[in-house]
Amino acid sequence: MRDKKWLKSFLLVLLAFILMMDFIALFAYLVARIYVYFVRGVEFCVDLPELLRIIKGASFGGVVAGVGCWYAYLKNERS
């Protein structure tokens, strides 16, 4: 049973980081679009390829941060 604990914690940490990074990226994207709409008067439109690129980058950042935090957790657990 102990052998599966690291896999479960890895997947949960990875999933949490990916979802939160996506949420933060989408929130920042919308805030920036709203700011540009009110300050510059640029029409509010959501560019789908740009949004997908942002989500892909945020997901990659979530994977990197999740693996790093999981590694720190595992290193602390074993010591």
Structure tokens at 16: 């949490």
Q: In a structure prediction context, what are the per-residue pLDDT tens digits for the chain, which is 79 residues long? A: 466 777 888 888 899 999 999 999 999 999 999 999 999 888 888 888 999 999 999 999 999 999 998 888 888 877 7
For 11-30, the three-class secondary structure string (H helix, E strand, C coil) is HHHHHHHHHHHHHHHHHHHH
Look at residue 19 in the predicted model and tell me its pLDDT.
94
Look at residue 7 in the predicted model and tell me its pLDDT.
83
**pLDDT tens-digit map of 16-37:** 999 999 999 999 999 999 999 9
Q: What is the pTM of this model?
A: 0.80
